Amino acid sequence: MIIGVDTGGTFTDFIVKCFDSVQVFKVLSTPENPAKAVMEGLNKSGWKAVDRGRVVHGSTVATNAILERKGAKTAFITNKGFEDILDIGRQNRKDLYNLTFSETRHLVGEGCAFGIDCRVNKDGESIADINLEEAGAVLEVLKKEMIDSVAVCFLFSFLNPEHEVFMKKKIESAGIAVSASHEVLAEFREFERASTTVINAYVYLRMDGYIDEIAEYTGKDRLSVMQSNGGCISAIAATREPVRTVLSGPAGGVAGALEIGRVAGFDRLITFDMGGTSTDVSIINGSLSISTEAEIAGLPIGIPMIDIQTVGAGGGSIASMDSGGSLRVGPESAGADPGPVCYGKGKRLTVTDANLYLGRLVANRFLGGGMQLEAGRLDRFFEDLSNQAGLEPVELAEGILDIANTVMERAIRSISVEKGHDPGDFTLFSFGGAGGMHAVFLARLLNIPRILIPRNPGVLSAMGMIMTDALKDYSRTVMLPGAEVSFGLLTEMFTGMEKSAIEDLALEGFEGKAVVIEKFFDMRYAGQSFEILVPCGADFVSNFHGLHQDLYGRSFSGKEVEVVNLRLRARGVRERHEIERIAQGGEKPHFSAMTGEAKAVFSGRSLATNVYNRESLLFGNLIYGPAIITEYSSTIVLPPESRGKVDEFGNILIEIL
């Protein structure tokens, strides 16, 4: 048995694969303790009845601890004179025209940053040994202030970590959790390294307790956690480096989209994951887009992560009037409790309520009929808000959806148009519980010609988790001039990382041919501030010039090139998850696939709209809009002038006519 678990703001999703059978279901999330919903779903899955299997979990614990500022009381230890590094940060101006802009405060509280007299120079030589008296004094303050977790980050520790190793042992001997930068991120750029290490320390205890709670049920050796880089790691590794899980759930969806898209014949995808609380978008141009310049809540994280843009627009996003009298949607969400108005408890209208009010959701088919939506509750709330907005209720409902679509359109433009990609060259891969209701409208806004919606789109992130390999990332700063260093010398420098990777994956059960090693260089022109990721190869310099040309429209073949970092990615390859084919049918769906007819509003007009059951559709079936396709995990809306075709794997390919 293999179980994928994805914790969302509204629902926690499960996919259970046991031999050839696949079961999907959702349970309402429990924000006060996400482990409760996980345990409820595992009980429902029948996990206790099997002797062998594994659980792969996409967790939001680290993310929420940072967003809500509910992590451990954390201290920061660095070289004397550098105590303010987290507050100074980088002098970037993210909001040029905001006269009241203030920088995000880091996670270390006032008076919790400490400097110790010691120094390693730029060549990795220790030129000032650690001051033992100062180290002891800092330790006493940590105890007195009841610090829960400590981040240690000394200058050039990525070249020589001896001072960090000493401080880590001393702090651990006092029973305090500690994260050392040479273990979390062994790279130059002291601010990003310090920030990443502090984040790891801040969420360490929360993640440790959470994983222990679930592992008591599953067994720690049978529990894996999804990482932000598109692969999974053992529960033990996730506890040690929780910073690698901050985009755990969204990364599972993008990884799943890559696998399913390839099988369906599409390797250029814009992924669109619209859930109950937020929407995540990413771009796949033959492979996952990996970034080492990510942020969460304004705080930089230097580890490799899938480049995902997140916006506060989901099915549960709340519609309201702002102080200027304009209609706003999100980022505040109704969440799982109280949820949208139509769930029976909520008292503030959401995107889901607008879809139901316009007839684009079928009240008795939500969650496959397992949850009845209360359409009758909506009238009073729409009348109240429409009076405030000066709109008719139907205009208000369509306005709510238009605003949500515009927010999501901007997010997609930021990862495509703003990075030199034409959205028209890609397929929109839509998933998430609410994605299918908005995908066609978004594609029209962006001139994307086709949309692919997989089977069980509402649990695709969980599906992606059971399809992923174990993945480990390693890095080392070398800062070498490209013209003066040989390819042979560079490959020798990977030896230590490669040995560590093989040993680490062996601990997770991967050996021999199951271990695949990929090597990369971070490269730049001399004088540049940022690098490009270049695959390791003998012609690495010319490859860098070519990639620079592709990304920025120009290259400088006569300019000096630098190799800044070595990166190694080690993959523990699992048995592939076979995507099942479905039975062949004709162009016209069988009459049993149509479950009824609804009245749905499109562009102010109420139109007769056929309702189909997705489980009854066959390979080759064509469905013309307006139509609604229902399934357990999602609803798909085909507006007028669109057509859906079912492929051999059960995916629905939608074309705009």
Percent of the chain with pLDDT over 90: 71
Which residue in this structure is represented by tokens 């730029």? Answer: 122
Q: State the pLDDT at residue 49.
A: 66
Q: What is the pLDDT of residue 276?
A: 82
pLDDT for 600 equals: 95
Q: Cα 401–403–408 angle (5° rounding)?
A: 95
Contacts of 399 (CB under 8 A, 6+ apart): 327, 389, 391
Asked if 651 and 269 count as a contact pair (C-beta separation under 8 A), the reply is no
Q: Are strands 627-630 and 605-613 parallel, antiparallel or unpaired?
A: parallel
- What residues does 523 pair with on adjacent strands? 532, 563
Count of beta carbons in the 10 Å neighbourhood of residue 371: 15
Question: How far is the C-alpha of 412 from the C-alpha of 368, rounded, in Å?
Answer: 30
Model confidence at 633: pLDDT above 90: no
| Of the ranges 208-222, 292-306, 638-652, the best mean pLDDT one | 638-652
Per-residue pLDDT reduced to its tens digit, 57-91 = 998 888 888 888 889 999 999 999 999 999 998 88
* CB within 8 Å of 17: residues ≥ 6 apart: 1, 2, 3, 466, 577
Give pLDDT, residue 631.
92
**How many other C-beta atoms are found inside a 10 Å radius of the C-beta of residue 215?**
17
Residues 319-331, buried b or exposed e (16+ Cβ, 10 A)?
A: beeeeeeebbbbe
In sequence order, which residues have a C-beta less than 8 Å from that of residue 36 and are 6 or more positions away? 30
CA 490 to chain centre: 32
8-35 burial by CB neighbour count: b if 16+ within 10 A, else e? bbbbbbbbbbbeeebebbbbbbbbeebb
For residue 55, the one-letter residue type is: V
What is residue 426's predicted lDDT score, i.e. its pLDDT?
97
Assign residue 89 a region: left if phi > 0, alpha if psi is -120 to 50, beta otherwise? left
- For the segment 511-520, the average pLDDT, to the nearest whole number, is 94
Q: Between helices 132-144 and 162-173, what is the axis angle to 10°?
A: 40
Q: What stretch of H or E contains 622?
A: strand 622-624
Q: How confident is the model at residue 228 (pLDDT cuts 50, 70, 90)?
A: very high
Cis geometry, peptide bond prior to residue 626 (ω within 30 degrees of 0): yes
Whole-angstrom distance, CA of residue 116 vs CA of residue 139: 11
Across the chain, mean pLDDT equals 91
Q: Measure the CA–CA gap between 533 and 518, rounded to whole angstroms.
A: 12
Q: Where are the alpha helices (DSSP H) in 474-532?
A: 487-493, 495-507
Q: How does pLDDT run across 389-418, given as a tens digit for each residue?
A: 999 999 999 999 999 999 999 999 999 998
- Rounded to whole angstroms, the Cα distance separating 654 from 650 reads 13
Give the span between the Cα atoms of 533 and 412, in whole angstroms.
23
What does the alpha-carbon distance between residue 281 and residue 415 come to, in Å, rounded to a whole number? 8
Q: What are the tens digits of pLDDT across the range 25-59?
A: 888 888 888 999 999 999 888 877 677 788 999 98
- The phi, psi pair for 31, rounded to 5°, reads -55, -30
Burial (CB < 10 A; 0-12, 13-18, 19+), residue 394, is middle
State how far the Cα of 323 lies from the Cα of 325, in Å rounded to an integer: 6
The torsion of the CA quartet 379, 384, 389, 390, rounded to 10 degrees, works out to: 80
Per-domain boundaries in the chain: 53-246, 469-572
In contact, 190 and 152? CB cutoff 8 Å = no
Query: Which of 35-39, 197-201, 217-221 shows the lowest mean pLDDT across its residues?
Result: 217-221
- Cβ-contact 451, 430 below 8 angstroms: yes
Half-sphere exposure of 112 (CA within 13 A, CB side): 24
Name the amino acid, one letter, at 18. Answer: C
Q: Which of 67, 68, 106, 65 is nearest to 206 (CA)?
A: 65
Rounded distance, CA 9 to CA 275, Å? 8
Read off the tokens for 52. 């062998």
Q: End-to-end CA distance of the chain, in Å?
A: 43
Residue 655 main-chain phi, psi, to 5 deg: -115, 145
Pairing of strands 594-602, 605-613: antiparallel
Query: Omega into 300 within 30° of 0, i.e. cis?
Result: no
pTM across the whole model? 0.89
Nearest by Cα to 431 from 649, 274, 267, 252: 274
Give the per-residue pLDDT at 325: 87
Would you say the C-alpha torsion 213, 217, 222, 228 has a positive or negative sign?
negative
**Which uninterrupted H or E stretch holds 464?**
helix 460-467
Average pLDDT value for residue range 294-309: 89
**299 with 199: CB under 8 angstroms?**
yes
Beta bridge partners of 473: 569
